């Protein structure tokens, strides 16, 4: 998992002569079983990944479920290619993210063990000749700021769902190799509880955007079966030791080509603020 401890603040002293490569493949993500999401991504994410919430202390945070085993990402194939048409913003921003200091301020940070930080002169610089962030990195920073702004709205909406009593433990038990595997710590929207919320709670869910999140999470739940099928297919492919064409053809997955556009729900570096 991409932990906070793996990121270091970007500084002129440390990174003036270093360069970075934008996210282009899934190699660094092949072991990411979950990834955080924000509300703006639910519309795109819910047709590709099962969405759930995890509880961190007293806060519920939404995630996309990418695999059924620790250290497994079923959306990266054997050629280290991302195999569906949407990449969560947290991953697309790699190797960068924002870290919150003890005084509450946000700091741009970079993970340097991904192979995306390099001394290659053809790659993007961190800083320009005047010691300011390069245009390429400033674009990433702008996207990360928008992502952080939406994260606050996401937390408010998730709190509204929790306060309304519609989040319940999700007993995910996919069938893997003929046996049930129990994945703990996940929460989902209870359809029954959502139908029974009172008018005041329903209004709050609507106004915070939580109602739309709830419906989209419910749509995504059926995608657990897609993970089961893909897990079984890969297990069979490993046994056969063959170049299995299903990496691109099963489940409707399609490998992204170099010209494929990726939507970030208004969060992408190519989008206008």
Give how far Cα 215 sits from Cα of 34, 66, 211, 225, 240, Å: 20, 20, 6, 19, 40
For CA atoms 41, 43, 49, 53, the dihedral sign is positive
Please answer whether residues 182 and 222 qualify as being in contact, where contact means their C-beta atoms are separated by less than 8 angstroms: no
Identify whether 95 is preceded by a cis peptide bond (ω within 30 of 0): yes
pTM above 0.75, yes or no: yes
- Contact 30/43 with Cβ under 8 angstroms? no
Backbone angles phi, psi at 251, to 5 degrees: 65, 10
Residue boundaries of the structural domains of the chain: 4-244
User: Largest Cα–Cα distance of the chain, in whole Å?
Assistant: 61
CA-CA distance, 68 to 49, in Å (whole number)? 12
**pLDDT means per 10 residues in the chain (273 residues)?**
73 94 79 93 97 93 92 88 90 91 90 88 94 95 94 96 96 77 90 96 97 97 90 77 48 38 36 37
- The C-alpha atoms of residue 47 and residue 69 are separated, in whole angstroms, by 21
Per-residue model confidence (pLDDT) at position 3 = 56
CA torsion angle for 63, 64, 70, 75 (degrees, to 10)? -160
> What is the per-residue pLDDT for 256?
40
Q: What is the pLDDT of residue 5?
A: 62
């Amino acid at each position: 998992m991409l932990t906070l401890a793996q990121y270091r603040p970007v500084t002129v002293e440390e990174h003036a002569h270093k360069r970075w490569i934008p996210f282009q493949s899934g190699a660094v993500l092949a072991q990411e079983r979950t990834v955080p999401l924000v509300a703006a991504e639910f519309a795109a994410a819910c047709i590709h990944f099962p969405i759930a919430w995890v509880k961190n202390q007293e806060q519920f945070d939404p995630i996309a479920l990418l695999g059924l085993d620790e250290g497994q990402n079923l959306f990266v194939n054997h050629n280290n290619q991302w195999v569906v048409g949407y990449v969560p913003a947290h991953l697309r921003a790699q190797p960068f993210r924002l870290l919150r200091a003890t005084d509450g301020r946000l700091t741009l940070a970079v993970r340097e063990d991904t192979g995306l930080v390099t001394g290659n002169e053809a790659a993007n610089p961190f800083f320009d000749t005047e010691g300011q962030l390069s245009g390429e990195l400033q674009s990433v920073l702008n996207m990360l700021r928008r992502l952080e702004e939406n994260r606050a709205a996401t937390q408010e909406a998730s709190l509204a769902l929790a306060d309304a009593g519609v989040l319940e433990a999700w007993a995910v038990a996919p069938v893997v190799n003929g046996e049930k595997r129990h994945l703990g710590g996940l929460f989902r929207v209870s359809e029954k509880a959502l139908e029974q919320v009172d008018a005041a709670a329903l209004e709050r869910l609507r106004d915070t955007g939580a109602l739309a999140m709830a419906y989209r999470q419910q749509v995504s739940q059926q995608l657990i079966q897609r993970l089961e099928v893909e897990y079984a297919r890969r297990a069979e492919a490993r046994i056969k030791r063959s170049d299995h064409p299903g990496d691109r053809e099963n489940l409707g997955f399609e490998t992204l080509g170099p010209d494929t556009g990726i939507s970030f729900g208004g969060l992408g570096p190519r989008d206008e603020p």
